[in-house]
């Protein structure tokens, strides 16, 4: 759950500008069918991730699924097994889809690492994201680790008492842990709401401090968007 606690990639932009930039480049990636454009986006943003010294094993693990999806796109749409045949005319189109998947995933990964959880919520709140949904995300973030520890405590207690030795016993144990977590969630939620109300809780108070956008950051954002739009039009 490290991505919910700290930010590992510090881009020189305010949170709102960061999100605008990443969504802008993502929209260009989804629109474009150019393999060179996808390759440039992929290589530059992947290099940016590597420059911040992210663990390579962690990156390889993250890329394992999109690489598998890209490989299957190439395999399924370019090769026929009955009878066995290879269609080179489809390969370029399928390669474009594969590079698009990898480029889009790289941008999502950059969003994943460049925002702390609080900064992401504050950015969504500043864009008039539904306040109730943001509040639910905040409360979920507060309780998910606590509920996970409760789940492990119940699970280990059941396992030590042979609660998973048979199909029927397994089903009863799953039912019991589900019921326990449900009531624990209600209990923690009621306690949290009561404590927040006693302290004058107002959802808007969570994001009173708004970061200011510096003019230089707007110049950076405008320049990068112009550069990417120019590359998109050329390729």
Distances (CA, A) of 162 to 172, 174, 179: 12, 13, 19
Backbone phi, psi, residue 29, to 5° = -65, -45
Enumerate the H helices of 79-166 as residue ranges: 88-114, 117-126, 131-160
Residue 1 clears pLDDT 50, i.e. is over it: no
pLDDT confidence bin for 8, thresholds 50/70/90: low
pLDDT confidence bin for 52, thresholds 50/70/90: confident
Least confidently predicted of 84-93, 104-113, 151-160: 84-93
Q: Is the peptide bond before 83 cis (omega within 30 degrees of 0)?
A: yes
- The sign of the torsion formed by the CA atoms of 53, 119, 147, 110 equals negative
Average pLDDT over every residue of 176-181? 84
Annotated domain spans of the chain: 10-115+213-234, 130-201
Residue 85 clears pLDDT 90, i.e. is over it: no
CA 224 distance to own-chain centroid: 23
Distances (CA, A) of 56 to 66, 77, 115, 163, 196: 16, 31, 19, 39, 41
Residue 69 clears pLDDT 50, i.e. is over it: yes
Neighbours of 24 (CB within 10 A): 16
Of the ranges 51-65, 91-105, 193-207, which is most confident? 91-105
More confident of the two residues 107 and 174: 107
Q: Say how far apart CA 74 and CA 202 lie, in whole Å.
A: 52
Residue 43's pLDDT is 94
């Amino acid at each position: 759950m490290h991505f919910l606690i700290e930010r590992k990639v510090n881009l020189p932009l305010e949170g709102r500008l960061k999100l605008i930039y990443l969504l802008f480049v993502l929209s260009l990636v989804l629109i474009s069918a150019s393999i060179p454009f996808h390759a440039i986006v992929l290589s530059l943003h992947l290099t940016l991730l590597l420059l911040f010294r992210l663990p390579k094993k962690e990156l390889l693990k993250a890329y394992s699924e999109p690489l598998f999806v890209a490989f299957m796109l190439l395999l399924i749409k370019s090769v026929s097994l009955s009878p066995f045949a290879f269609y080179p005319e489809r390969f370029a189109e399928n390669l474009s889809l594969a590079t698009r998947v990898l480029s889009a995933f790289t941008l999502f990964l950059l969003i994943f690492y460049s925002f702390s959880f609080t900064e992401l919520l504050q950015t969504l709140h500043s864009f008039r994201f539904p306040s109730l949904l943001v509040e639910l995300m905040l409360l979920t973030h507060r309780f998910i680790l606590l509920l996970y520890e409760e789940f492990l405590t119940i699970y280990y207690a059941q396992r030590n008492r042979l609660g998973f030795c048979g199909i029927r016993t397994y089903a009863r144990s799953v039912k019991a842990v589900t019921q326990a977590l449900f009531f624990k969630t209600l209990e923690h939620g009621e306690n949290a709401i009561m404590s927040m109300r006693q302290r004058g809780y107002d959802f808007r108070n969570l994001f009173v401090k708004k970061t200011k956008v510096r003019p230089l950051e707007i110049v950076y954002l405008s320049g990068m968007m112009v550069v990417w739009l120019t590359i998109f039009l050329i390729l």
